Amino acid sequence: MNHHIGFIGGGNMAQAIITGLLKSGRAASDILVSDPNPESRRAISALGVAAFDHHEPVMAQAEFMILAVKPQMMDAVLAEIAPSLRESQIVISIAAYHDWRYPSAPQCGQKHCGPCHAEHARTHR
């Protein structure tokens, strides 16, 4: 039995991993991807892999979940997928950096605010 591999995020890193999986013999039908970006979904579909604009079909079918999102988006993605996670799923993150001990929401409420992230990290150590 082939286990489905699901990707949350279909950007460059996910596409590189998927290309490697396909070249190593993994069937495209074993891979599922969700990404809100239509361009990323088109690139994934061009590889023969199913791409969705929402995570539900990926979460429902994949045994292995690869979180391929930018670190600053990780908390939002985790909150979104948490209700869909099954105890048997294996979750792997390829984020360059994420401090799993603390929420990374910036203090100013913006999604991408370097100074607030730095201050949050400094004051919560």
DSSP string computed for 52-120: ESSSHHHHHH-SEEEE-S-GGGHHHHHHHHGGG--TT-EEEE--S---TTS----TTS-SS-HHHHHHH
Domain ranges of the chain: 5-100
Q: What pLDDT is stored for residue 101 in this prediction?
A: 56
User: Could you tell me the pTM of the whole model?
Assistant: 0.77
* 3-34 pLDDT per residue, tens: 899 999 999 999 999 999 999 999 999 999 99
Select the more confidently predicted residue: 110 or 23. 23
Q: pLDDT (tens digit, 9 = 90+) per residue, 46-103?
A: 999 999 999 999 999 999 999 999 988 888 999 999 999 999 999 999 987 656 555 5
The domain 5-100 is classified under which CATH number: 3.10.20.30, 3.40.50.720, 3.30.70.3270, 3.40.190.80? 3.40.50.720
Check residue 37 and give its pLDDT.
Answer: 96
pLDDT at 113: 46
Q: Which residues contact 2 (CB under 8 A, 6 or more apart)?
A: 26, 27, 30
